Structure 1
Amino acid sequence: MCHPLAAAAQVAEVALTGDLARPVRLTVPDLLAWPQHRARVSFECATSGIRHHRFAGPLLYDVLSDAGPAFDPTRRKDRMRFLIAVTGADGHHAVLSWAEIDPDFGRASVLLAASIDDAPLDRAGPQLVLERDRCGARHISGIRAIRVDGGYAART
């Protein structure tokens, strides 16, 4: 039988940090507690051609909203200055704007996928899935960190 600490070490964690009221570390089992959204995605991979996958997981917007982004409620459209940097275990990075995922603006359905083709991603870590992207470059595997940063625009 496996030692409990050894089993826990095999579950990948994602650190949500930055301009958040409630920074947190999440695992795939944590993400499974959120409402699950499904997406069938086809994207072009530079090294292996067209890829087809089925993903399931919560929306990035829902997870980050729960962490309490530090929007200034007295400033109209303050959330538009926030960027989201996502880093995978292999060092792959992608940056999204808050406006892209916000239902009041871009409404992009961006998943923190907890499974791919019905296989859980507990050990590998969740994947960033942008179902509208034609190219797979922003599909980040094994996410280890998501940083929310509102310091990119001039503050007046």
Structure 2
Amino acid sequence: MPPLIRATGLALLWTLSTAQGQTQPTPSIPAAVTAPAVSTATTPVVLSGVVQHPRAYLLAELRALPSRTLTVSFTSGGQGVTHTYRGVLLYDLLKAAKPNLNAGTKNDALRWAVLARGADGYAALFSWGELDPDFGNRPVLLAYKQDGQPLPMRDGAVRLVVPGDGKGARSVSSLVELQIFRSGP
């Protein structure tokens, strides 16, 4: 049976269990926590999932990590926009979390994905392969600066910036959660 994906209100829940080598859906419990609509400097970005080192990052901690600057163009609200962003590469944080990749399975990383969620419940999904330098090598940023300034208040303290996307739809604003999971057997 394929993995079960359920949208519950604004939250996107992904639950899996393994029984006798098959993936079976399990009951999911909606989150009782109500996140603010916009993240602030004291709102952590929680990195969790099937990883050895889950972690919550505050804005100050992200700013202390090696960063990168990218100029990105995309369509937003029907208009073309171009901004220069500064932030931390998503892939670097994912590697530091040490997902439980199976070295015995050929290209096991290609079965993994990351769900990014904003404070308002908005979510976007990324395959590991598009982020990994050995495959797609897309430099997705957890951005905390836009055009040399802190992000506009509407974008929260941290947002994802996805170079190469024609629309800015996967550029999750007010980022609060990154969940790493394996999508197949």
Q: What is the TM-score when the length of structure 2 is the normalising length? A: 0.73
Where relative contact order (Cα < 8 A, 6+ residues apart) is larger, the structure is 1
**Aligned mates of 1:16, 1:119 — CA distance in 2:** 25
For the pair 1:146 / 2:164, whether they are aligned, the reply is no
Question: Is 1:127 aligned to residue 159 of structure 2?
Answer: yes
| 1:101 maps to amino acid | L
Out of 128, 131, 136, the position equivalent to 1:106 is 136
Q: Secondary structure at the match of 1:44?
A: strand
Which whole-Å CA distance do the structure 2 matches of 1:24 and 1:137 have between them? Answer: 26
Is 1:52 the equivalent of 2:82?
A: yes
Distance 1:10 1:73 in 2: 37
Q: Deviating runs (4+, > 6 A) in structure 1?
A: none
Corresponding residue for residue 5 of structure 1: none
> Is the 1:86–1:146 Cα contact (8 Å) retained in structure 2?
yes
Unaligned runs of 5+ in 1: 1-8
Measured in 2, the distance between the counterparts of 1:117 and 1:11 equals 22
CA distance in 2, matches of 1:27, 1:120: 15
Q: CA deviation at 1:119?
A: 2.0
Amino acid aligned to 1:39: L
CA 1:36 to 1:76, structure 2 compared with 1: closer, same or farther past 3 Å? same
Matched position secondary structure for 2:64: coil
Distance, in Å, in 2 between the alignment partners of 1:41 and 1:81 is 28
- For each residue in 1:77-120, what CA deviation from the matched residue of structure 2 results, as whole angstroms up to 9, or x when unmatched? 11111010000112211000000000100001111112122223
Partner of 1:39: 70
